[in-house]
A and B are shown apart, each in its own frame.
Chain A
Amino acid sequence: MATPLELWESKYEKSKEKIDNLKYSKKFIVLVGSATCENAAGATKLLELFRNKLADNNDVYVGITGCTGRCSKEPIVQIIEKGRLPIKYCQIKIDDVDKLINEHIKNGRIVNELLLTD
């Protein structure tokens, strides 16, 4: 009979495989902050836009995460390129979405003016 810890480990392996396929195998991970505060700052619409615009791009995973605690800088969008430092963008507006997709995701250029810097 497997111990609870052994059962947990087998669950861990399954979760890892699942998340690897879904998320970590992708070249880019886009995480939009999602919490009451983020949503109030406009994150819901951002998430929808990212999902729609990147729907047929197999290199990108678009998902949500809780709030990072940067109330004054929300909404926060993180773009994590495989093997590179994670990048956080702050106070993202609907008009910025195209810029982030075209510059960062399509061309690998970080959009300096939108970076969270401190």
Chain B
Amino acid sequence: MEEKYILLSKNFGYQQSKLNEIVEYTKKKLAEKNLTGKVAVKLRLDNYYINEQILLSILPDKLHYTKVDFKLIDEIIDDYLINGKIVERNRFQCDELLNRFFENFGDYNYFNKQLRLTLRNCGIIDPESIDDYILADGFKALAKMLTKMKPLDVIEEMRKSGLRGRGGGGYPTYIKWTNGHRAKSETGQKYIICNADEGDPGAFMDRSTIEGDPFSIIEGMAIAGYAVGADKGYVYIRAEYPLAIKRLENAIKLAKENNFLGKNILGTNFNFEIDLRLGAGAFVCGEETALIASIEGRRGTPRPRPPYPSIKGLFGCPTVINNVETLANVPVIILDGGDFFARIGTEQSKGTKVFALAGKVNNTGLIEIPMGTTIREIIYNIGGGIANNRKFKAVQTGGPSGGCIPEDFLDTPIDYDSLIHAGSMMGSGGMIVMDDNTCMVDVSKFFLDFTQNESCGKCTPCREGTKRMLEILQRITEGKGELDDIEKLERLGETIKLSSLCGLGQSAPNPILTALRYFREEFEEHIKDKKCRAHICKKLIEYFILEDKCIGCGACKRKCPVNCISGEPKKLHTIDQSKCIKCGACFETCKFNAIIQR
């Protein structure tokens, strides 16, 4: 293992070929000086921080250089690496932010392709120690704001940043804040709510963020409170996240002791308190009006908007609701400026996005990438490709509100609008990769089953419509589908989208509608040919014993729970299809690959 790393990256937009030349030169030079094996050259994602072309860092020494050229490489290798004399030319004292995540970067491809703003402290600081957070410049944004900024300055900084809500909808955060700021409250009371009711199957970004860096949420909420004029905040968090709750409670207690929360924060007249409210696990409570109802102690069902919560929300007072990830980004924007934040990402979607990468990829995990990264880069570079060398089939984003994107769209850049264009949505950030062993009808059924279960029942289209759609899908997977089922699904889906009360119903048909758009032939196969090409839909599979491979050992016969396999010892066995329950026990038992699915 090497002792040092030379970490190279270029400024966003700068020529790749120049960077490649520098990399080659550095490697050659290191080899000449017999340093290969002691010093490794690594590449990092484009650098968004400094407008100085090619950047170089030496780790673990944390020496940083800008305007890197061949001559500087010579100096660094000859003077520093060989003779130990630090090169001062073009050296810069690193911006603190850049310094933060060096413990993670440098040595692993997985991290080098990421840009971590939301997760800047996750996996680095001790989430239970406020001192660790302060050392990572924690609460500095709050202090800076209270020293130098008025509420409208904060909102202006948010506008410049271009931050859009990370809960899925992508509504510009500054507009919510402006509306909350302007709204008149009869009692003068306003509220900030942090929506940590993360319920998408396979999504765990909010849990990891809170467990790894709870203080940043608190800081983000306090900043929002100052901008909006609220002195009270609630974190609405699932009761299923006990560790996140414990860490958050601990963080609130420590922040209070250190006067970052409570009365007269840091000697000013700004007051802000935070309380937790635990959700009982209803998916619909992630919808803002249902969430408010739940905090008020009522049944968690949505209500029609307007009035929007920023005008009339919790207990009738103006309320700004932001997602965990949105709030975690706030301190970065205040500390480093909206302009810095707006440099990252695409025209319409700024900053980074955290994804929970799951499914059939080699490296599953939590990743954070700048907006505009393509799906292909995520799956093949960070995710390390499809597991078991299988073939990519689709990627599901946006959870039960999103859709499946097929191979043709792999080069879609990740941003709010491109994903909607591809028929899916950003959602909260679940990303499930599927290989060719996946049946799209079955996947559609899975997500619809979820939303159907979670439908609160208040409005008919969602309550009844999703139920009917699920019945049709159930029928198709059992081989009882009819030819007009596809049309029925489409018609029902469109109607539910148009007429449901809240986001849950309005987006519930999305997984089916996109599957129909891109994988229609699979639905048709299920209906017409009664075949499931991925061998997932049990009722459509037949197990069959191959004559030339069966040696008549009888293992399958003994395993079969319904005794539908017959055959003399050492002779060909057969399966009675009329009795077979398709449990697959024989298939798994056979050591001679004599049993096939078809």
Contact = CB atoms under 8 A, between A and B. Distances in A.
B268 interface: yes
With most chain B CB atoms within 10 A of its CB, the pick from A3, A12, A65, A70 is: A65
B208 A66 contact: yes
A8 to B, nearest CB: 4
Given A5-B143, A70-B365, A15 B123 contact: no
A10 to B, nearest CB: 11
A34 B210 CA distance: 12
A64 B384 contact: no
Contact of A11 (B5, B125, B258): B258
Contacts of B213: 66
Interface string B99-115: 00001101111100000
Interface in A64-88: 64-73, 76, 78, 80, 83-88
A57 interface: no
A85 B59 contact: yes
A18 B243 CA distance: 25
B131 A68 contact: no
Nearest to A81: B60
B384 A112 contact: no
A49 B84 CA distance: 39
A71 B356 CA distance: 10
Interface residues on B, range: 35 or more
A2 B368 CA distance: 38
Contacts of A88: 107-108
B384 A118 contact: yes
B177 interface: no
A16 interface: yes
B476 interface: no
Nearest to B148: A5
B140 A85 contact: no
A80 B106 CA distance: 14
A108 to B, nearest CB: 12
A72 B143 contact: no
B207 interface: yes
Interface in A59-118: 63-73, 76, 78, 80, 83-88, 110, 112, 115-118
Given A12-B135, A33-B123, A35-B212, A1 B267 contact: yes
A110 to B, nearest CB: 5
Interface string B129-151: 11110110001101110111000
Contacts of A7: 143, 259, 266-267
A110 B107 CA distance: 15
Interface string B1-19: 1111100000000000000
A8 B60 CA distance: 28
A87 B384 CA distance: 21
A15 B135 contact: yes
B363 A70 contact: yes
A65 B211 CA distance: 9
Contacts of B266: 4, 7-8
Nearest to A84: B60
Contacts of A69: 119, 122-123, 208, 365-368
Contact of B208 (A18, A37, A78): A37
B107 A85 contact: yes
A7 B211 CA distance: 27
A57 to B, nearest CB: 19
10 contacts: A4-B143, A7-B267, A65-B126, A68-B104, A71-B366, A78-B103, A84-B60, A85-B107, A115-B1, A118-B110
Interface of A: 1-5, 7-8, 11-12, 14-16, 18-19, 33-37, 39, 63-73, 76, 78, 80, 83-88, 110, 112, 115-118
Given A66-B124, A85-B3, 16 more contacts: A4-B143, A5-B144, A7-B143, A8-B134, A39-B243, A64-B127, A65-B123, A66-B208, A66-B213, A67-B123, A67-B366, A68-B123, A70-B365, A72-B365, A78-B103, A86-B103
Which are the 6 A-B pairs with shortest beta-carbon distances?
A: A66-B212, A68-B123, A69-B366, A8-B143, A4-B266, A15-B131
